[in-house]
Amino acid sequence: MTDLSGKRVLVTGGAGFLGGFVCEKLRNRGCEELIVPRRRDYDLTSEENVKRLLDETSPDWVLHLAAEVGGIGINRDQPGRFFFANMAMGIHLLEQSRIAGVERFVQVGTICSYPHSTPVPFHEDQLWNGYPEATNAPYGIAKKALSVMLDGYHRQYGMEGAVVLPVNLYGPKDNFDLYSSHVIPALIRKCLEAKERGDEKIVCWGSGQVSREFLYVEDAAEGVVRAMEVMRQPQPINLGTGKEIKIADLVDLIVKLTGFSGKVEWDRDKPDGQPRRCLDTSRARQLLDWQAEVEFEEGLRRTIEWYKSNAAHS
């Protein structure tokens, strides 16, 4: 394992949801030279801005967390933007990192890269066995392509690297915007606001019969940092719990934890997305000595309490 105290680390997306927890862990591990660029200063979809960032900061390592992400709705509405922005950021960062002599590059990918019909549990060897779920394919393919680019740079230029694939994240400080958020923060906000208004029902997308797996954000941050510390050769590594839950059961659990007493209706005209998501996490245990620690219901309680305390600022 590499000592972080002597490394200058650039973390794109370090001010975001996952990035904030990653940066906290890096500081706790002794990383004293941590660079967190902001979008207002560096548009990472611009090659010129990425070059300027690398020239001005001279990092030893780059941890690429920055992404344009969201739930099914925004993925469906902005497929072109999601492909371009995620592809462009990664391409420019990798190439300019090579030119600048960066030693190690960590690519944070996405579970959306897996094929639509991947057998459960998803194993990393299945990544290329089909086309991703259509509702998030542009985002997933862009991220998957960047893992190929990093592998190519490792083989041709000797750049050290790591690729991690976190499953759906949740936790305090998440995005709770009803249009662009993922399912857990959207449901928490929907239930709490409906409870406050005294609504008789909430409406949820799809059938509720698809499944998802969820990973608490602090567990994910630990997995990302572990990958940066120990990996030299990029190969995809799943980060998850290995446990799935049907969306209908998730809704019931959030309804219970938020205290909403109304009915739940399902809008079956809205898409479900991928039928099932559940990961094989054996590679993470083997290569990173990592596994998730926070139980799902406890993580939901922490997330709900954080939102209740910070709702006015969300």
Closest by CA position to 171, among listed 267, 1, 306, 79: 306
Confirm if 245 and 214 have CB atoms less than 8 A apart.
yes
Give the Cα separation of 214 and 171 in Å (integer). 10
Q: Please confirm, yes or no, whether 139 is among the known catalytic residues.
A: yes
Largest Cα separation within the chain, whole Å, is 61
Q: Residue 125: exposed, middle, or buried by beta-carbon count in 10 A (0-12, 13-18, 19+)?
A: exposed
Output the CA torsion 29→57→154→99 (10° steps).
-170
Kindly compute the dihedral angle of the four CA atoms of residues 57, 61, 66, 142, in this order, to the nearest 10 degrees: 120
Query: Looking at 139, 170, 216, 307, which residue is catalytic?
Result: 139
Instruction: Provide the annotated active-site residues.
Output: 139
